[in-house]
Amino acid sequence: MPDEVAGPNDHAADRPAVVARVQVADVELEVVRLDAFHAANESRAMSFVTNFGEWTLPASVADALAAAIGRLEWIHDTGELVLLGGVPRLGEGSADVPSVDAASAELPGFLGGTSVVGRSSVPGAVRIYFPEEQLPSDTRVMVLGVLRHGPRVHEVLWGWHLHHRDPDGWQWLTERLHELHDLAAEDDRIA
């Protein structure tokens, strides 16, 4: 990923290894593994995300992401608009409750997943289980752009709900990203 996308936990040696590249709007975007993407900047895994739906991918993008369907999400803390290779499935998550006397513990969500508040009044409880969306660790992810403010994300993706399941959905998305590339505000850019 470009240096501009780097977060507070990123270091050159920690940058995820690129597993593929995709050309979008005259920009070559890097595809990396989701586990390495999270490891490079821990705030990505802890951030709230907005899900913009599942997209049918053209063959070249599907090959790069190793998935026929992608899921578009915006990571609030980093401003990254990302395309996940695949769709999360419901599974079971668990977390240690830090204090056995705690009435509740906030459990972090992750990209492609959900945040959960667990409650336990059972003395001595040390682990809580909850339903959670999960992706395999070898899932691939591509940063499409960086948009620092939620209203700008919604402006760029205005009308997505009309296109994201259509055969022309990817073309519509790349046209919107091309507009972002051409008219980017100082804080916003295609990755």
pTM: 0.70
In the chain, how long is the greatest CA-to-CA distance?
59
Q: In degrees rounded to 5, what are phi and psi of residue 99?
A: -135, 130
10-34 confidence digits (pLDDT tens): 444 468 899 999 987 678 999 999 9
- For residues 22, 24, 29, 31, the Cα torsion angle rounded to the nearest 10 degrees is -40
- For residues 86, 88, 94, 96, the Cα torsion angle rounded to the nearest 10 degrees is 70
Three-state helix/strand/coil letters over 7-68: CCCCCHHHCCCEEEEEEECCEEEEEEEHHHHHHHCHHHHHCCEEEEEEEECCHHHHHHHCCC
Q: Is the pLDDT of residue 6 over 50?
A: no
For 100, the token pair is 């056995």
pLDDT of residue 142: 96
pLDDT of residue 115: 41
76-125 confidence digits (pLDDT tens): 999 999 999 987 777 666 666 655 444 444 444 455 444 444 444 555 55
pLDDT of residue 163: 85
Q: Is the pLDDT of residue 188 over 80?
A: no
Q: Is the pLDDT of residue 131 over 80?
A: no
36-85 confidence digits (pLDDT tens): 998 999 889 888 999 998 888 899 999 999 999 899 999 999 999 999 99
Please state, in angstroms and rounded to a whole number, the distance separating the CA atoms of residues 9 and 20. 23
Q: Is the pLDDT of residue 159 over 60?
A: yes
48 vs 2, which has greater pLDDT? 48
pLDDT of residue 32: 96
Angle at 30 between CA 7 and CA 12, to 5 degrees: 40
CB 38 within 8 A of CB 141: no
CB 82 within 8 A of CB 142: yes
CB 62 within 8 A of CB 68: yes
Q: Pairing relation of β-strands 27-33 and 18-24?
A: antiparallel
Helix (H, G, I), strand (E, B) or coil at 166: coil
pLDDT of residue 86: 82
Q: What integer is the mean pLDDT of 125-149?
A: 77
pLDDT of residue 190: 53
